[in-house]
Amino acid sequence: MRLENLVRGIVSSFILAMPSACTPSKGSIQDIKEHQVERKQKGFNFVSWKSEEYENLYSDNSLEEIKFLGSNFVALTPIHFQDGINSTLIYSLHGTTSTYSALRHAIEKAHRLGIKVMLKPHIELKDGNWRAMINFSSDYEYRMWFYNYQRLIVEYAKFAQDNSVEQICIGTELDGLTSRDGDWRRLIKEIRNVFKSNITYAATYSNARFVNWWNDLDFIGINAYFELTNKQDPSPLDLYNSWVVYLDDIKLLSDKYKKDIIFTEVGYRSLNGTNKAPWDFLSQGTTDLDEQKDAYGSIFWSFWDKSWFSGVYFWAWEANPKNTHVLDNGYSPKGKPAEIHLMDWFNR
């Protein structure tokens, strides 16, 4: 038996034997159920790095694993590119950008499993910079970028409508562009002309409060890679308490726009100290499966019973299982103790 299968079997078998310290009181469980828990989006960013990967049998199997965990949503993340932070040209890349055929296959497979879909296109920069840094020195360049971006996203919106996609995320971490209120509102209007379901945007945790057009969307989306503690080995209580600093601000944002919050991304590596910089996918260190597990748990304990919180998309679950391993220090919870929290909470 492969080590991965052994670990996954152990994780699954222990779900029903969770100690009482890991479960809330009977009263709080009832409170969660009464707060329309069925409407919560219990999702993963289901990521692919190759054009036709979503069509492979192993991708279908990965979706079945997600369903087994109790997930009711997946975010599909087709990747498009531009050369640098000042480039206005956006393009697909053969071999990397998901084909429409592959996306359609994944959507149909998810729907057959009873999983809803959010389409969540990403922009990556070929020069290695972060998409949040995209900006321009002239109004003309901004208008050119939005012209090209609108063409791309409206095309995806039409595709989403034609394939019964339940939700679309119209942008991810575009901090340098969010102040262009008029451009975003025009884009949203064009999307609503062709797509008749829910729309959100995935703001960085630091930029969400500066977005002025949440009113035009259905949910406030946050990529919630908040720094939790400054400790290398925090306790579960430390991690839970760390969210207190952020809870009020997140709720105030929800109250201001009268929109529910979803975490369009949040994730933790199985790496010692991951809680200090959850966004850091490059640092090296010691594998720490427990810290990842406890960080996942802190989200559920902090947010799952909040009336203004409508769900989460964890980063990430790979379409290709060869990209993860139960003893690696990456983001995937697959086969790791963090899966215990996911399966337990997703099935409540």
Of all helices (H) and strands (E), which one includes residue 74? Answer: strand 73-76
Query: Mind listing the pLDDT tens digit for each residue in 337-346?
Result: 999 889 999 9
Here the tokens at position 230 are 């400054």
Query: Mind listing the pLDDT tens digit for each residue in 324-334?
Result: 989 999 999 99
Query: Mind listing the pLDDT tens digit for each residue in 261-303?
Result: 999 999 999 999 999 999 999 999 999 999 999 999 999 999 9
Q: How far apart are CA 120 and CA 169, in angstroms?
A: 5
Of residues 70 and 25, the one with the higher pLDDT is 70
pTM over 0.85: yes
128 pLDDT band, cuts 50/70/90, is: very high
Query: Mind listing the pLDDT tens digit for each residue in 172-184?
Result: 999 999 999 999 9
Structural domain spans, the chain: 41-346
Q: Across the chain, what does the average pLDDT equal?
A: 91
Q: Could you give phi then psi for residue 344, rounded to 5 degrees?
A: -65, -50
Q: How far apart are CA 347 and CA 42, in angstroms?
A: 10
CATH code assigned to 41-346: 3.20.20.80
20 pLDDT band, cuts 50/70/90, is: very low
Report the pLDDT value the prediction gives residue 38, as an integer from 0 to 100: 52
Q: How far apart are CA 130 and CA 224, in angstroms?
A: 16
DSSP 8-state symbol, 99? P
The yes-or-no verdict on residue 230 having pLDDT over 60 is yes
Report the pLDDT value the prediction gives residue 248, as an integer from 0 to 100: 97
65 pLDDT band, cuts 50/70/90, is: very high
CB contact at 8 A, 117 and 76: yes
Report the pLDDT value the prediction gives residue 340, as an integer from 0 to 100: 87
